Amino acid sequence: MQKEIIIKAQKWLTESYDTETQKKVKALINKDDEELIDSFYKHLEFGTGGLRGIMGVGTNRVNKYTVGAATQGLCNYIIKTITTNKQINVAIAYDCRNNSKYFAQITADIFSANGFHVYLFDSLKPTPELSFAVREYNCQSGVVITASHNPKEYNGYKVYWNDGAQVTPPHDKNIIKEVNKVTDINQIKFKGNKDDITLLGEEFDKKYINKITELSLSPEIIKKHSDFKIVYTPIHGTGVKLVPEILKTFGFTNIYNVPEQDIPDGNFPTVISPNPENAEALQLALKKAKEVGAELVLATDPDADRVGIAVRDLNHNLILLNGNQTASLLIYYLIKIRKEKNLLKGNEYIVKTIVTSEILFDIASSFNVNYYDTLTGFKYIAEIIREKEGKELFIGGGEESYGYLAGEFVRDKDAVMASALIAETAVWAKEQGKSMFELLTELYVEYGFYKESLVNIVRKGKSGADEIKQIMEDFRNNAPKEIAGSKVIEIKDFLLQQSENSVTETIEPINLPKSNVIQFFTDDGSKITVRPSGTEPKIKFYITVKENLCCKERFEEKNRELETKIQNIVKSLKL
């Protein structure tokens, strides 16, 4: 292995690579350590989020040449696949990360050098706006340069197909085959054609904002509560302009920013990680909310496709909600208002991912709205929308990792849109004399108290990847018969595409694509999902427990009981 890696690295010392790259590769070879192995032991592959990795030299890093090979391979695939179009159009966006603009320009140059017409955003933009652009300009493909919420050393390359959604099978695998055929960087057409690159600016922003505004269901209530206090932070990312703008367009007038985090910066200087799932990333926003007495806090990740929120609890203290809770509130609102306004025609549906709370299905079912489950990754939600287009009407969808969508004109999770609709949900609840948290407790009373927890086990590098693979094999070959004293009654293996139920003594097929995911269901109603991340060096354990809640006054007591239950599961699995 070590000899093979050195041979791979030495190929990067030719004149085809720039001087700075050669210098860095020489330094790695001379060190001859783990970093050299990690940089060259494999090629970056498309996962649930596309191409994503640490920036640096090497085949397993994000750099000019891996981005170039990915783009040339994508070009080759598009040319082979799209044979009916005389002119091929593509769109490109990028976020606030270090080198994002640089990688976006390289991508644009290569697309244009291959004869494509490129729509390139003139400044950093939210990922969902890229999805919208692909659809608006009838593009055959699109790319956004981002690593979403990953730490600052990462960057990435998300690929979109002509429906505005991230690529799904078979396109993703076929694209990587074409990328792998780019074995010599001289095959990459780096020299662009400026005449084939059109810049998109504020006029296109207005189109996007206007389309989102059409989703508003309660403009009269917003008008009544226009002074509702909201604190918003983009966490140094792309939401800095459009999230405040959409809130104002919806009618909210009392929006407070977090000045320290309003500056786009790929080093994310005020946070450890720019992830709205992490409480630490919202600390400055929470501080501001306490100062001004805000009732809602919104925080978007660097590419503004995910949003985390904080609301006032029953004691009027600010608390963070998780992605399942926010999705529950949003989906309930979108369906409930349609019901009240006689807008439900009987062909509506929602979508969630298999690791997202079942309460979304309980809510949909209570209103006779159809519902569908998908694999993890919003591209699979988009795939359902594509399949149902013209047959059923998509109301909304969500995933536990803070991604939400409404309407059909964007085909990826959209924090710009979600921020506005979450704020609208909050003022609708206020009009009913309730806070967002009180509304949530009412949902728990009606549908059952679901409590979720996520345990991440990080294992970096090649050795880490091997360890994660072994953990999955152990769970698959030696499945636990009980977890925390509760009997395992059903095992769903999405790689084997089968569900085995010990109560009914049946084995049923799972009608979803193969995925390296295992779920365990116990006789006390708990669900544990084990899944390696497709974008980060970690394995994830999603834990869901559920019990009945009689009334909101018993919330704290029941919450403690469920937390104990979760901790017992964690101990039982030795996490």
What positions carry a catalytic annotation?
A: 148
Would you say 501 and 490 are in contact if contact means Cβ atoms under 8 Å apart?
Answer: yes
Q: Residue written as tokens 């427990």? A: 545
Alpha helices in 489-572 (DSSP H): 555-572
* Helices and strands (H and E) in the chain: how many: 18, 23
- Bridge partner list, 453: 543
What ranges make up the beta strands (E) of 195-304?
Answer: 197-200, 230-233, 255-257, 296-300
- Bridge partner list, 566: none
What ranges make up the beta strands (E) of 432-526?
Answer: 449-458, 482-483, 486-493, 498-501, 506-509, 518-522
Question: Rounded CA gap, 395 and 408, in Å?
Answer: 8
Long-range contacts formed by 172-180: CB under 8 A, 24+ apart = 172/46, 173/46, 174/77, 174/81, 175/46, 175/73, 175/74, 175/77, 176/45, 176/46, 176/73, 178/73, 178/74, 178/76, 178/77, 178/80, 179/43, 179/69, 179/70, 179/72, 179/73, 179/74, 180/43, 180/73
Would you say 413 and 404 are in contact if contact means Cβ atoms under 8 Å apart?
Answer: yes
Question: Rounded CA gap, 550 and 4, in Å?
Answer: 63
Q: Residue written as tokens 């002509």? A: 162
- Record the tokens describing residue 299, joined without a space: 């925080």
Which helix (H) or strand (E) covers residue 406, if one does?
strand 403-406
